Amino acid sequence: MNMKNSLIKITTIGLFSLATMFSFSQNEIELRNAFKQSYVDEYNLKYAKAIEALAQFANVNTYEVHVRLAWLNYCNLKFNDAAMHYKKAVELAPKSLEARMGYIYALASLEKWDLVIDQYKSILGIDPTHAVANYNLALIYYNRADYKSALPFITTYINCYPFNFDGVNLAGWIKFNLGNKDEAISYFKKALLLSPDEKKYDTILKVK
């Protein structure tokens, strides 16, 4: 009898362990359903409703919830809320490039360009040859007329992507503004190979 009871106990414990190991908790099921609802609402462009679908989990400090809420707030034009959620996501997963890239969208909408630069530099701290970060840093510095700062970033970019219009075009303008006209012309010629109908270099290249 004792033997039988023990076997029943062991089997019950075993089954219970398996059930907890393989199954979803009630909370996980609710979270999954909330995500599902938020995707449906997002698909219908109802961003506020999609945020509401996740509202009960807004205080759950998980990376996934913050990234999702950040994106939906960005789509809903609530840039401060988006930036706040992305910031928390970055804190939870400091190496996450997807969260940093998302954070940059929100910061750019708020025109917080110094913070945008900080985030791109953090990305390069993780992945020094990251294409988007290098190109966009070069572009921001170019637009600030800080051509010397723009140069190393565009150089890294065009080394990895030598036949890319945006890259060779920006490299040309940076070199041109630094007074390296021969090098600039060489880049403009490459840009013309990619976009032969481009007219914006005509004056510099003396094309009639």
Interacting residues with another protein (CB under 8 A): 21-24, 28, 31-33, 35-36, 39, 63-64, 67-68, 93, 95-99, 126-127, 129-131, 159-164, 185, 189-190, 192-194, 196-197, 204-207
- The number of C-alpha atoms within 13 Å of 132 and in the hemisphere containing its C-beta is 12
Quote the least distance from Cβ 3 to another protein, whole Å: 30
Angle at 106 between CA 48 and CA 51, to 5 degrees: 20
**Token pair for residue 104?**
């940059």
Instruction: Tell me the DSSP string of 54-81.
Output: TGGGTTS--HHHHHHHHHHHHHTT-HHH
Q: Compare residues 45 and 160 and give the one whose CB is closer to another protein.
A: 160
Instruction: State whether residue 43 is helix, strand or coil.
Output: helix
Report, in Å, the least distance between residue 38 CB and another protein. Answer: 9
**Of 111 and 196, which has the nearer Cβ to another protein?**
196
Please say which residue, 115 or 131, places its beta carbon nearer to another protein.
131
Beta strands in the chain (DSSP E): none
d(CA 87, CA 129): 23
Q: How far is the CB of 45 from another protein (least distance, A)?
A: 19
Please state the closest distance from residue 44 (CB atom) to another protein, in A.
16
| Nearest residue (CB) to another protein, 127 versus 146 | 127
